[in-house]
Structure 1
Amino acid sequence: MDEYVTVVDHPLIKHKLTLMRRATASTQKFRSLLREIAHLLTYEITRDLELTTERIETPLEEMDAPVLAGKKLCFVSILRAGNGLLEGMVELLPSARVGHIGMFRDPETLEAVEYYCKMPDDIAGRRVIVVDPMLATGNSAGAAISHLKKLGATNIKFLCLLAAPEGVAALRAEHPDVPIYTAAIDERLDDHGYIRPGLGDAGDRMYGTK
């Protein structure tokens, strides 16, 4: 993989991801683990946030303390499964703006079809992190990022839980300027567009709809 693809290789993430993969994991357990992994992934993807200092007073004395500076963040969730990662990310950064873009995958063509989009008015001036648990074909992620670029966004990253090599390659080809962060890259994509060995349909497992 190139420098634009980061696999967050942490023992806690590996362990929690294994628990999520188990077919016996309950809906509640799956959601809880996804939120916990989102915390850990957020630490890594926000590592380059700019800092400045602010004069504060501790119980003992004054000091110049670090605080976040620069462009503000916007998390963009690809509905519906993206909301599972989003919840954990917003817990860590509650001041971040949130956008939503609705995509569904045509079962015949596997192409992404957009049905909803709601973004902050100043999206062009924000750091944007697009979130979706699965980077399978790359079609939904690519379409969502293309839409954001049309709205003027220039500082974009993509965060997912699992990726297929085919999805990574497709997104890198379509948007070579967008870094990809993931917990793992699995073996392959099957004929139905599912990541193998994977963990099934993240949205269905998260919401108990199948």
Structure 2
Amino acid sequence: MRLQVIDHPLVAHKLTVLREKKTPSPVFRQLVDELMTLLAYEATRDINVETIEIETPVAKTTGTALTDPPPIVVPILRAGLGMLAGMQSILPTAEVGFLGMKRDEKTLEAITYANRLPDDLANRQCYVLDPMLATGHTLIASIDYLLERGAKDVTAICLLGAPEGLAALEEHIGDRANVTVVVAAVDEKLDENAYIVPGLGDAGDRLYGVID
């Protein structure tokens, strides 16, 4: 597993505003969209491309195009939806699948309640969107879901990661697949409720409001 922490002043600035508890939901959503665009730019640096011939208004030349089959973007419901628009602004031709997962607050394990993905992901580059990599259970379950369908190249894009979750993911994945985790920052630790510290709270609630 490869970890990529995006060290950029704009990323740090936007993340700082996201952390502030007084930031209202509309501003929070806008900043997640902007931050995701910056993270997606770096996360797609190794996207599969090929050389093609084109003709400009002046002359023939060669250029670069994404290969087929197109990459697939997989936001983890519900919080991952807030990251989708930023990803699509960078990668508009990608297909989009969905995984619905939630954390059991007692066991902290991930529970899958919905999926909308192709059965065959062989030779597909997959980009998983999930704001918070806390215990790692949700991301582990999501990546396993993709690997079971033939994916070999998976990039997870998260706003924040915790050392405990990153360690759990690395131990679980091992050398089985090409997995990259892209984050804006790695925070200090998890608290007794498995929330990232200092973190930014519950990303889904801050994006969409509290749902009982």
The CA distance in 2 between the partners of 1:201 and 1:8, in whole Å, is: 22
Q: Which shifted more, 197-206 or 148-157? A: 148-157
Summarize the alignment of residues 1-210 of structure 1 with structure 2, pairs less than 5 Å apart: 4-69=2-67, 71-176=69-174, 177=177, 178-209=179-210
Describe the SS at the equivalent of 2:63.
strand
The CA distance in 2 between the partners of 1:114 and 1:207, in whole Å, is: 20
The CA distance in 2 between the partners of 1:98 and 1:88, in whole Å, is: 13
* Identity %, equivalent residues: 48
4+ runs deviating over 4 angstroms = none
Q: Which shifted more, 132-141 or 122-131? A: 122-131
Cα distance per residue 1:3-33 (max 9 Å; x no partner): 7111011111000000111111111111111
Q: Which shifted more, 142-151 or 180-189? A: 142-151
The CA distance in 2 between the partners of 1:18 and 1:104, in whole Å, is: 26
**Using a 3 Å threshold, how does the CA distance of structure 1 residues 18 and 81 change in structure 2: closer, same or farther?**
same
The CA distance in 2 between the partners of 1:47 and 1:99, in whole Å, is: 21
Aligned residue pairs total 208
Cα distance per residue 1:46-102 (max 9 Å; x no partner): 101233232222232222122223542111111111111122101221110111111
Cα distance per residue 1:145-195 (max 9 Å; x no partner): 111112222211211000111011011111134221110000010111100
Does the Cα contact within 8 Å between 1:103 and 1:114 map onto a contact in 2? yes
* Unaligned stretches of 5+ residues in structure 2: none
Amino acid at match of 1:32: Q
Does the Cα contact within 8 Å between 2:33 and 2:82 map onto a contact in 1? yes
Does the Cα contact within 8 Å between 2:119 and 2:149 map onto a contact in 1? no
The CA distance in 2 between the partners of 1:6 and 1:55, in whole Å, is: 33
Does the Cα contact within 8 Å between 1:162 and 1:182 map onto a contact in 2? yes
Does the Cα contact within 8 Å between 2:120 and 2:149 map onto a contact in 1? no
Cα distance per residue 1:124-160 (max 9 Å; x no partner): 2310111100000000110111111122222112110
Describe the SS at the equivalent of 1:103.
strand
Cα distance per residue 1:98-134 (max 9 Å; x no partner): 1111111111111111111110344223101111000
The CA distance in 2 between the partners of 1:66 and 1:134, in whole Å, is: 33
Structure 2 length normalisation: TM-score? 0.93
Does the Cα contact within 8 Å between 1:97 and 1:120 map onto a contact in 2? no
Describe the SS at the equivalent of 2:40.
helix
Does the Cα contact within 8 Å between 2:84 and 2:129 map onto a contact in 1? yes
